[in-house]
Amino acid sequence: MRRAGARDGGRVLPALLRRGTARKRGVDEPGVRRFAWLALVALAACGVPAADPAPPTERAALPFAGIAGIPSDADPRCAVIRVVDGDTVEIACRSGAQNVRLVGFDTPETFRPGCPEERALGLRAKEVLTSQLRAARIIAPEVRGEGRYGRPLVALTLDGRPLARSMVAAGVAVPYDGGRRIDWCDRLRRRAT
């Protein structure tokens, strides 16, 4: 098998495409290959355009009904088509669509919150993320592997600034490296007192 991964710097894709790796991890090999192929297509298609992107007022037609084009609205190759919650988006390219876990930060849950305050802040995080994606002129994705729920882990940079930093600065997220789950209800109760 030809070594893949040149387009992503040789980080994620070679390991995912190595024969037998998927079986050892308990994941079906075709599913892992599909993820790796989609990640490769997305990374190859999302290079920064050579020309300056169009001003935000001159939005090009996105290839899908989308929130934001990747790498830009002026030169869309993929698009964020849905914000699932404050740290998950759905990205579509011509090859298909997939939910993606954004890394570097964590936001409160909206689907199964532990308390009403967690849901409220989670909905606010979703609004902030949607707003930041719509305002961005250039979106640069970096695939960082696969998460425990089978979603690609992706770091986004918006106009040269890490999205994680922006979400934390907006007060709707905390830095997160994938470790222990955050008890948002406890955190919000402590913040209120």
Amino acid at 73: D
| Residue reference for tokens 């955050």 | 182
Write down the pLDDT at residue 9: 42
Q: Write out the chain's pLDDT in tens, 193 residues.
A: 333 343 444 333 233 233 333 333 344 445 544 554 455 445 444 444 433 443 443 444 454 567 887 877 776 788 899 999 999 999 988 888 999 999 999 999 999 999 999 999 999 999 999 999 999 999 999 999 998 888 899 999 999 999 999 999 999 999 998 888 889 999 999 988 8
CB 16 within 8 A of CB 28: no
Buried b (16+ CB within 10 A) or exposed e, 13-40: beebbeeeebeeeeeeeeebeebbbbbb
Query: Contact at 8 Å (CB) between 74 and 54?
Result: yes
d(CA 158, CA 147): 22
List the beta strands (DSSP E) in the chain. 68-71, 76-85, 88-93, 96-102, 104-106, 139-146, 152-158, 161-162, 174-176
- Count Cβ atoms below 10 Å from residue 105 Cβ, excluding itself: 23
Q: Enumerate domains of the chain plus CATH numbers.
A: 46-192 (2.40.50.90)
At residue 178, the 3 state secondary structure works out as coil
